[in-house]
Chain A
């Protein structure tokens, strides 16, 4: 549409410098929106990682049929779940752990013989998704000598639902916020377009296409968005540097934050890209509305 992008950049920068107030207003609006969006996204991400860390407790228990060989089944299980930590627990040990878990009440088990509990192989599956857990347990169930597989269904199901709902709600919130911001900023940019209506009129008079007229406006919007995105990302990183150590100290005894609890690289990049998209949409809305009338 533009054979000379450099020229469009030059025109965009000139226009931005000519109306610094409008440029500032637009940038500030997108910045505030992106900052709130970034906070929402960061909170969602942190929550998700925290839940996943807690879900690290999740284990699949493979119960053996009476008379099956524990060592043999253990290695078969390990072969199906490569990279997972696998532990074989003979029934006596299982009983001891159960008693320990019950504490004072453990004495209730005093009369129970070791055969009351089957031999068991436990697979630690931190961060496993529900689908994966289902698939893995059905594979395990079909191993010879396996009586049953327990994958903490209720726990995982609930976690999965929570995560999926939070993600959908968060996404809807982010998209809605982005669209609202674009409309808001497009109203500001309409003033910029209006201030340059004479220039637009004359450009069209001398044979400019709509694309030629619109290009610097679109670039201007995108540049403002990128600028806002960079600022918002910087603010979030600064906030993180200031707050994360304190948060860790606060949460420390409760639950150590998992490694990488900070912002993922995707967030700053997403903010810049989101800013560009909002700016582009906003300027597109304002200039196209104007050109359609002209």
Chain B
């Protein structure tokens, strides 16, 4: 699904944000991307949803070399990817329902189908009664569940989450993690960037660790936790 070969990303005047990273993530995997702040986790995710291009090395996405994807094609690639951020990135002037509907509107689905899908999505994150509320009136945990519902709205093959629980307390964190795990159980490939070690201890999954832009370890979280 995703293959990186010697990928380096540099910003002018700074040490490389990613340095010679070689990594593969297969279909249906659930991967934690971890490492201290500034390790390059967000950078790796941004490369993966084509917000930026690698400085060198190759990145294959769904079997395609991203260097060969033209700007006009990026929207169609993005339609296979859902993204969740630490700060939710919901539109405050649109209702919860409208926020979740956005990926579907972008695909020009019929209005009735959008309404039906949004209802189902909100139900799956336990917020069907909030459809007409605006994001600022919701708690952080609820807003992140809305963001997850939006990311999953169009059944993406790949779900990327950048510190999705960074702003949440333990209980909300578990709720959001359950949603991501459920999506993975339905077949979506999931990559979660986090520096929260307690998450790794709770879930036995593959863990890819970065440090100063370099890949320092790749294994399952039991072994990782033992070595920490």
A198 to B72: give the CA distance in the assembly, Å. Answer: 20
Chain B 38-77 interface mask (CB, 8 Å, partner A; 1/0) = 0000000000010000000000000000000000100110
Q: Check B150 against A206 for contact (C-beta < 8 Å).
A: yes
Q: Check B103 against A206 for contact (C-beta < 8 Å).
A: yes
Q: Check A199 against B49 for contact (C-beta < 8 Å).
A: no
Among residues 52 to 110 in chain B, which have CB atoms less than 8 Å away from a CB atom of chain A?
Answer: 72, 75-76, 78-79, 83, 89, 91, 93, 102-103, 105-108
Q: Check A206 against B91 for contact (C-beta < 8 Å).
A: no
Q: Check A18 against B91 for contact (C-beta < 8 Å).
A: no
Report the minimal beta-carbon distance from B200 to chain A, rounded to whole angstroms: 27
On chain A, the residues within 8 Å of B106 by CB distance are 203, 206-209, 212
A242 to B78: give the CA distance in the assembly, Å. Answer: 60
Tell me whether A206 and B108 are in contact in the complex, defined as CB-CB below 8 angstroms, given that A18-B93, A198-B91, A199-B91 are known contacts: no
On chain A, the residues within 8 Å of B153 by CB distance are 206
On chain B, the residues within 8 Å of A198 by CB distance are 89, 91
CB-based nearest B residue for A18? B93
Q: Check B102 against A202 for contact (C-beta < 8 Å).
A: yes
Tell me if A167 counts as interface (CB < 8 A to partner B): no
A39 to B154: give the CA distance in the assembly, Å. Answer: 54
User: A205 contacts which of B72, B89, B107, B108 (Cβ < 8 Å)?
Assistant: B89
On chain A, the residues within 8 Å of B49 by CB distance are 205
Q: Check B91 against A207 for contact (C-beta < 8 Å).
A: no
| Residue in A2, A4, A202, A203 with the greatest tally of chain B CB atoms within 10 Å | A202
Tell me if A69 counts as interface (CB < 8 A to partner B): no
Chain A 202-235 interface mask (CB, 8 Å, partner B; 1/0) = 1111111110100000000000000000000000
CB-based nearest B residue for A291? B71
Report the minimal beta-carbon distance from B94 to chain A, rounded to whole angstroms: 8
Q: Check A204 against B75 for contact (C-beta < 8 Å).
A: yes
CB-based nearest B residue for A212? B106
Tell me whether A207 and B89 are in contact in the complex, defined as CB-CB below 8 angstroms, given that A2-B108, A4-B108, A202-B102 are known contacts: no
Chain B 101-128 interface mask (CB, 8 Å, partner A; 1/0) = 0110111100000000000000000000
Tell me whether A207 and B105 are in contact in the complex, defined as CB-CB below 8 angstroms, given that A18-B93, A199-B91, A202-B89 are known contacts: no
Tell me whether A207 and B76 are in contact in the complex, defined as CB-CB below 8 angstroms, given that A198-B91, A199-B91, A202-B91 are known contacts: yes
User: B75 contacts which of A3, A202, A208 (Cβ < 8 Å)?
Assistant: A208
Tell me whether A206 and B78 are in contact in the complex, defined as CB-CB below 8 angstroms, given that A2-B108, A4-B108, A212-B106 are known contacts: yes
Report the minimal beta-carbon distance from A41 to chain B, rounded to whole angstroms: 41
Q: Check A209 against B89 for contact (C-beta < 8 Å).
A: no
A18 to B94: give the CA distance in the assembly, Å. Answer: 12
User: B102 contacts which of A4, A18, A206, A210 (Cβ < 8 Å)?
Assistant: A206
Report the minimal beta-carbon distance from A293 to chain B, rounded to whole angstroms: 12
4 nearest A-B residue pairs (beta carbon): A207-B79, A206-B103, A207-B78, A208-B106
Chain A contacts to B: CB under 8 angstroms: 2-4, 7, 18, 198-199, 202-210, 212
A sample of 6 inter-chain contacts (CB < 8 A) reads A7-B108, A203-B102, A206-B78, A207-B75, A207-B79, A210-B72
Chain B contacts to A: CB under 8 angstroms: 49, 72, 75-76, 78-79, 83, 89, 91, 93, 102-103, 105-108, 150, 153-154
**6 further A-B pairs in the complex, CB-CB below 8 A; given A207-B106, A212-B108:** A4-B108, A198-B89, A204-B78, A206-B153, A207-B103, A207-B107
